[in-house]
Amino acid sequence: MELIVADYWIMVLLFILVVASLAIYFIKDLLHAVIVYGVYSLIMALVWLQMNTPDIAITEAAAGICVTILMMLVVFRTNRKEEE
């Protein structure tokens, strides 16, 4: 099976995906972990775009990057208010 340019491109994307998901486990600060989760979602949206599914790419970019991070930040803020 012959490899074309798109195959190497998707290999790079999947490698960044693995590194990002490992980094979420090892980072101690919660805020930094949430930001790295945004990187994970962005790379995932690019992978969907590589697989010719722009519908899911739009939904992943909107729901994965914006909504999840926003809800997590709201939860952190309410938790910090209780601790003080």
Partner 1 sequence: MKIKNILVLLIVLLTTFGILLAVAELPPYGMDDNPIHNQVSERYINESLDDTGTLNMVTGIVFDYRAYDTMFETIVLFTATLAVVVTLKPFKKEEVDE
Partner 2 sequence: MRDFIFKRIAAIIIPFICIYGFYVILHGASAAGGSFAGGIILGLAAIVFSTIYGLKKGKKKFPEKVLFCIESYGTLFYGIIGMIGIINGAPFLANKLAGIDLGIPGTLTSGGLIGLLGLGVGIRVANTLLILFFTMEGADS
Q: 52: alpha, beta or left, given left = phi > 0 and alpha = psi -120 to 50?
A: left
Question: Is 78 among the residues that bind partner 2 (CB under 8 A)?
Answer: yes
One residue of 1, 3, 4, 5 binding partner 1 per CB under 8 A: 1
CA 2 to chain CA centroid, Å, is 30
Long-range contacts of 11-15 (CB under 8 A, 24+ apart): 13/43, 13/46, 13/47, 13/50, 14/47
Minimum gap (Å) between residue 6 Cβ and partner 2:
19
One residue of 6, 31, 54, 76 binding partner 2 per CB under 8 A: 54
For binding to partner 2 (CB under 8 A), which residues are involved? 54-55, 58-59, 62-63, 66-67, 70-71, 74-75, 78, 81-82
For binding to partner 1 (CB under 8 A), which residues are involved? 1, 51, 55
